[in-house]
Structures are given as structure tokens and as C-alpha cells.
Structure 1
């Protein structure tokens, strides 16, 4: 006879439930370990308020160093906080007021408090701070172990914040006791603050492995799981269709258009027309039931609209009709995991058919040595969703495209490759376009002239 699945409580922390494979079990001891300023209290409080919104009663025991007033001042600015819960379904007490010199066994005192509050989820914030009320750190660990056993019996979730490094061997006794251990890292790297979270331990389920970026803003903590460990969707049925540019000359060169479900690199020198070609392809056949997502790292949406207007492309109308969505990413301090979180949230596997990313150079710079695995994971996800993708990549004038793409991380996306260049031909500035590679189709290798005019875009026949 099969046991029924354990009911999990959603944390409602963006990205955390995906990291944990669903949520937190009813009797879990959760350790949140991190350096000062890492966000331990914010993350734990966010989980507490999510729990009370789901109908649970909560108890928050504040640290010796902070106390109730400071705690409230600390969490009140966040969007998850609601004063109406405090004093009603959330009981707020100070550990310092409970654990006096004659209070007796710390675990017994805390358990009496938990029972009196009828708490179904408890936060012990800064649990190391009870050490002054005991004799040594061994007694702190003993108290934690007793609490874990008794709260588990009551089916009460227990969240405990500790200062330190979750991988430090000094926490081995606590980690052994815990059901779930979250380690928060907060450090300065190349003048930027970087935050990452790791599930060091989780009983009963397999979390997403490795460390993952997170940020703290007015909404609270937001976690961005690495795309490399995202569950891969089942591959779709193979489509023999084409994703056309809507430019007869170019579609003829491509044997009818790009193969649906493939990835294409559009390589070009500055000013050669990459973005304009990308917009034309993005808009062709776009509709609310066959949407395009356009990611721009260099231009704002209004700038793209103005550029499209110059060439008679109906970008504004497509946006208004929900046929095309623009994601604008700042190249300054770009976090690739955050960027992919925005992208994947915008992609609807049921309706999104095309993706354009302009320009890949920015993403490649911030990814560094991680680029190959990151791009391979992105390609696998897009293929599983049946999305055809066009990646724009800028090269320096006179660079050979093979030298730029071959044996580099971006080659994993180059199932098809198109080159557009601009230079002097017979004392005139001309743009030329060539198809360099198509993995699943025959194609015309003859370079052609590309015209960008207010009346539209045209690919001329070869002379």
C-alpha cells in the first residue's frame, strides 16, 4: 500500500519553492544560515507571513540583539508584511524576556510558549543569541535538538536563523538535526555585491543543486534558480514547418525560412542591420496565439518602436495586440539568472513561438566560463517548448564569422548562421547578407545585397 504524499507548504518566496521541489514539510526543522546582512531574517519572515496567509498560526521569537521593536522596524517596509496579523495570528515575543536566569530548561520554556501560542510555524531569529542564558554552545545545540523532536511531534514547522557559513563544519551537529538547511552567501566581488543561496541539505526530496542568485528588494527575497538545473520539458513532436522572415529573397536563401524549433545566430558588424532584421523576423506571422518575445540589451522599447517605424514595421501595433513582448535588460551589472527568470516568465509554452535576443555579446561577457553550459541549457528549454530562436551577435568590422563563433560557447546555438556586413563596394557603402550554415536544410550560399529603406527591407537577387 502506497503512503499518501506529504502535504507541502508553499513558501511563496519567488524561486524558492522551485528550488525545494514544492515547499516545506509539516514537521520540518529549517536552518537558515548566513553572514550578517545576507537576509536571513527577511527570508524567514517572508515564509512566516506566507504561512499565515495560508491559514496557519505563527510564533516569532526575536533575537537578543534585536528585540521586538527593532524586528518590526526591520520587516515592516517589505510588501509581504501586514500589521493586521501581528498580535492576532502571529504572536511576537522576545527570547530575552522568556529565557531569564531562573527560567529553567530553555527548550521546555520555548515549547510551553509554542503550545500556548498554538503555533503551527515558529521562527527563532538569531538562535545563537540564547547562549548567554545557557552555559555554553553545547547546551544551545542540545536545546535545538530537543525543540526539533518536540515540534516534529506537534507537526509544527520550526525556522531557525544562525549567523555563519552553512558549509562550515562547526554547524555539523545542527545540520545533522535539521531537515532543511539553506545557506545564504553575501559577498563583494569586483565592486559588486553578489548574493547566492544553496540548499545544503533537504530530507525526502531532491532540491535543485548548486548555488543560485537571489536579491532583496521591496517585495522581499527573490530567488533565481540557475537555468542549467531547470527541469527540462518533454521534447515536442518534430515540426517540419518554417519560421519565415517574410522577406522573399532571404526566405529563398534559407530554403523557405528557418526550421521551426531551431536556434539561429545572426552575426553582423555595427550598423549592418541586425536589429532591423531581427524585428522583421519577430513581427512576421506574430499574433496573440503565436507570440514573439524580443529581448533587448541595448535599446529601450520606445527606441525599438521608433526604429521599426522608420522601416514601416508595425511594432507598436503588435505590442498593443499582445502579439509581441519586449524585455529590456540593462547591460550594467546584468545578472544572467535574473535575466533568464524574466525571459522564462514571459515565455508561455502554449503561445510563444519565437524569441529574439539582441545582443548576445552582453550576456556572453557576464557569463564568462559559465557561458557554454548556460546556453546549452537555454537551447534545450527552447527546444522543449517548441520555440524558434534568433540570437543577434555583434562582431568587429572585418572579423571573420567562423573565427568569432567556432569553438566558442555561442556555437551551441548556431544550428543556423546568417552573416550581415556593411562595407565599400565599388566606392559605395553596401550591406551584404549570406547564409553560412543550416543544420537541417539545404540553403543558398550565394551572398546577396541587403537594402534597408523607408519603404521596407529587401534582399536582392544575386547579379
Structure 2
């Protein structure tokens, strides 16, 4: 099926190659959501491709006002104005003579211009000025028939509420519906394809931004069943460069696997993840730190205090840091930026620090779980080994590692905990899970010092010591019991 492109790369991806030629599509949304910007961007993209375009304006958006604002965007091209992109104000005809004469005026102008693209902005004004639902249904039907005969692809722009989408008659005769919305609690905008006859598309809420260049869309990250079924596997292993820890896990975790490192504040989650990346860099594998908590200078400074010099690695393109503030985080844009760095910089190991910030941003547990699953699936399909850190609120004692049943998403789990022995706070490491491999089941003490995390050796003389971990049962809970 022949399609027209919107010119918005990721939107055309969501639409599986664009909009079928000859379709009538409603662009709906509340005031200020970007409806006119979207329709004009599509107009000018197709005009630059050599197609004639025609825009009808109504009393809702006078022509002079519309042009004034569109000139601010990078997609506007004055050389195309009235040569390829034509405008006609039908507001006065609609107000004075009604729907019937308005339809005739539209028909006359379309026959003159022979446009490939038609926009009516705002069609909702026509709906509001028509006396009855029967009349607007008739108007919409006759318009759709004429437009189909002309072969034009048409966009009807309007301020429709969610309730009206399910009720007003014009939605029953159109081929496609695109809704735009802005979340009330933050500044994130969403685009949703509700209907597109004759074409498949990616459903769900995709986020977008309005910039000086127009609309930029960030597709919702999604793991399809096919990508899961065809997921590649590897028998080679990626280690941390910490000999004692690598020994506990059989020489390392399998390449392309996802590892959750959970622990309390200051337990060393980020340090352990960094050591994993640096070991990869030593082996010629580019690494990426995805930080949702620390700015880049702070990460470099903290690493230097432990003896890790990151500046040279960053400048030589072997280590990359992507920072996104968790405040008003757009998780779709965040995932898009992450994938862009991974694919452009040939990243082989990733540290996401921390997924706790995804959890606080994505309030719905199901959405959070699906997002995390899709993200990990992408990394696995790319054979990228990943460390995901998660903060545990309880400083001491036992607790649930994950809240929303997400432990199945990762292949491996390492728990970092504080333990109190004889009024001394010490650190304990436990490998809870290694998918597809045997591993050490005991609890090991570790320290954070120059050079990062080190597991303490178990010395024979310590076996009888009151402070030896080997002399306690229930070490991670209260009260500890001497054996």
C-alpha cells in the first residue's frame, strides 16, 4: 500500500512507514498540545518532496495568526508558501452560509490546487457551528467521499475531548485518529495512534517534544514476542575484575546477561557497577554509565577518590556517561537517548544507576515492569552485558529485593547489605541468583577502599574469631545467632 511520510522519523516508524494515501485522519487534542504544529510539519515536509498541499483555516485559527506562529519553526519554508503550500480561510463562509456552502468552497479550491495533502484546521469549529449531529455526519460523509475521489490524504484538526472521541459522528467515518495530550502533573506530552485503517502501527502512548524544529517523537519502548523468541545467547563470561568475586560466579556472568545489584545507601552498588564497566574497557569493550542520580563531574570525582581515572577513558571514547535528571523524566525519550549512544558508540557493557528512579517516575507497577522488561530485552538482544542498581530502603535486616515482581527480568542478582556485629557496622555480599550457572551460596564480607570493592579473605585463624562471618547464623537478619 502506498503511503505518505509525515517527515517525523520516529512517527513514521510508529506508523509502520507512514499514512496510507487517501486516508482521512483526525488529529485531536486539547488546546496547546501541538495539533497545528503537527499538521503544518506534515504539510511542509510533503511540499518539499514536490507534493502540493492545501490548508483550510476557520475562525478558530485565522490565517494570519497561523502563519505568524509557523514561521518560528525550522520546517517552515517561505519559498513554498503559495507555490506548493496553499491556504484558504473558510471561516467567513462557514459562519455566514453554513456547512453546505463551506463544502462547495472546499471542493472548488481542491479542484483548483489538486493537492496531495489537505488540512482543515479546525474541523471541530465546523462541528460546533453545524446545527445537528445528523448534518455534521452528512457533511463528514460527503467530505470523505469527495476527498477519496480526489485522492488527497486529509487531516482534520480539532480540540476534541476524550469523551467526544467516542461520541461525535466524524470519528466513525475517518480512517485514522491521532490524539495528542499533555500530562497534567508534568510537562511531558504524549501521542497515541487510536486507529489507522489499512496499516499496522505501534499502539500506546509515545512521548514527544515541541522544539524549534517542530515535533520530535520518542517511541514507547516495547519488547515484541519475536525479539524474545530469537534472543541470542553466549557461553562466554564477563567478569568484574575482582578475582574473589569472579570466582564466586564461575569466572563471570554470561555475556549479554542482566544483573541486578541491590543494596542500601552507601553499600557500593555504583562502585561495583563501575568496576564491571572498567573491566570491560580493559578488555576493549566500550562502556556506558546511565546515571539518574549523579551529574557527570560528580561521577568523575567520586571515581578518582577510589583511584579510578575516568577522564582519559571518556576523552578516548571508551567510556561514556549519559545523565538524565529523574525530575519530570520522560522515560521514552530517556530510552531513545540511551539506544542512540549504545548504537553510535558500539557499547558492550552498560551500568544503569539506578532503576529505583524509573520506579518513582513510572507510578503504575505494570507499566514500570513492562518498561524494565523491554529495556533489558533490548540490551540482551544486542548482547550487551548490563548492571542495574536498585536501592533498598532498610539499612539492616531482611527485606524484599524488588517490589513489583521484577526479579524475573534479570538473570543475576547480587545483594549488598550492612550487618551489625558487636556494635560494628560491616558489609556483606551475597550472590542470590545466577541464571544457568552454579555459584557460591555463602555470605562474604567486603570492604570499599582504594581500588574499589574487595572481598575479604577467609583466614584460617579467623574461623574461631567472634567477628568471623562464619561463626554466625541468620547474618542478614535480627538477631544474629552464634553457631
Q: TM-score range by the shorter chain?
A: 0.7 to 0.9
- C-alpha contact (below 8 Å) 2:291/2:324 kept by paired residues: yes
Instruction: Name 2:259's counterpart in structure 1.
Output: 264
Instruction: Name 2:473's counterpart in structure 1.
Output: none
Instruction: Name 1:357's counterpart in structure 2.
Output: 352
Q: 1:396 aligns with which of 376, 393, 396?
A: 393
Instruction: Name 1:309's counterpart in structure 2.
Output: 304
Query: For structure 1, which segment, 8-17 or 153-162, has the greater mean C-alpha deviation from structure 2 after superposition?
Result: 8-17
Shift of the 356–170 alpha-carbon distance from structure 1 to 2, 3 Å rule, reads closer
CA distance in 1, matches of 2:194, 2:142: 22
1:357 shift after superposition: 0.9
Alignment of 1:208 with 2:208, yes or no, is no
Instruction: Name 1:291's counterpart in structure 2.
Output: 286
Residues 8-58 of structure 1, C-alpha deviations (whole Å, 9 max, x = no match):
222133532232222111211111122222221122122222222333221
Please report the TM-score for the alignment, with normalisation by the length of structure 2. Answer: 0.84
Alignment of 1:160-175 (within 5 A): 160-165=156-161, 168=164, 171-175=167-171
Alignment of 1:192 with 2:189, yes or no, is no
Shift of the 132–294 alpha-carbon distance from structure 1 to 2, 3 Å rule, reads closer
Q: Secondary structure at the match of 1:437?
A: strand
- C-alpha contact (below 8 Å) 1:216/1:222 kept by paired residues: yes
- C-alpha contact (below 8 Å) 1:107/1:147 kept by paired residues: yes
1:255 shift after superposition: 0.9
Shift of the 263–178 alpha-carbon distance from structure 1 to 2, 3 Å rule, reads same
Instruction: Name 1:77's counterpart in structure 2.
Output: 72
Q: 1:122 aligns with which of 118, 125, 135?
A: 118
Query: For structure 1, which segment, 140-149 or 388-397, has the greater mean C-alpha deviation from structure 2 after superposition?
Result: 140-149
1:90 shift after superposition: 1.2
CA distance in 2, matches of 1:169, 1:333: 28
Instruction: Name 1:221's counterpart in structure 2.
Output: 215
CA distance in 2, matches of 1:173, 1:137: 7
1:256 shift after superposition: 0.6
Instruction: Name 2:476's counterpart in structure 1.
Output: none
1:64 shift after superposition: 1.1
Which residues of structure 2 form unaligned runs of 5+?
460-483
1:423 shift after superposition: 5.5
Alignment of 1:37-186 (within 5 A): 37-96=32-91, 99=94, 101=96, 105-130=101-126, 136=132, 138-165=134-161, 168=164, 171-186=167-182
Shift of the 430–75 alpha-carbon distance from structure 1 to 2, 3 Å rule, reads same
Instruction: Name 2:464's counterpart in structure 1.
Output: none
Shift of the 187–384 alpha-carbon distance from structure 1 to 2, 3 Å rule, reads closer
Shift of the 13–264 alpha-carbon distance from structure 1 to 2, 3 Å rule, reads same
Bigger radius of gyration: 2
Please report the TM-score for the alignment, with normalisation by the length of structure 1. Answer: 0.87
Residues 44-93 of structure 1, C-alpha deviations (whole Å, 9 max, x = no match):
12222222233322112222122112112333333333333323321122
CA distance in 2, matches of 1:159, 1:289: 51
1:124 shift after superposition: 0.7
CA distance in 1, matches of 2:284, 2:84: 45
CA distance in 2, matches of 1:132, 1:355: 53
- C-alpha contact (below 8 Å) 1:62/1:126 kept by paired residues: yes
Residues 367-389 of structure 1, C-alpha deviations (whole Å, 9 max, x = no match):
23222222223233322222222
Residues 325-375 of structure 1, C-alpha deviations (whole Å, 9 max, x = no match):
322111112232332232233332993322211011111122232222222
- C-alpha contact (below 8 Å) 1:265/1:413 kept by paired residues: no
Q: Secondary structure at the match of 1:15?
A: helix
- C-alpha contact (below 8 Å) 1:287/1:322 kept by paired residues: no
- C-alpha contact (below 8 Å) 2:275/2:452 kept by paired residues: no
Residues 170-195 of structure 1, C-alpha deviations (whole Å, 9 max, x = no match):
6553222211111223452xx43554
1:216 shift after superposition: 3.1
- C-alpha contact (below 8 Å) 2:53/2:86 kept by paired residues: yes
CA distance in 2, matches of 1:221, 1:44: 10
Instruction: Name 2:30's counterpart in structure 1.
Output: 35
CA distance in 1, matches of 2:105, 2:328: 48
Aligned length: 455
1:98 shift after superposition: 5.6
Instruction: Name 1:277's counterpart in structure 2.
Output: 272
CA distance in 2, matches of 1:45, 1:351: 37
Instruction: Name 1:3's counterpart in structure 2.
Output: none
Q: Secondary structure at the match of 2:82?
A: coil
- C-alpha contact (below 8 Å) 1:29/1:180 kept by paired residues: yes
CA distance in 1, matches of 2:207, 2:163: 17
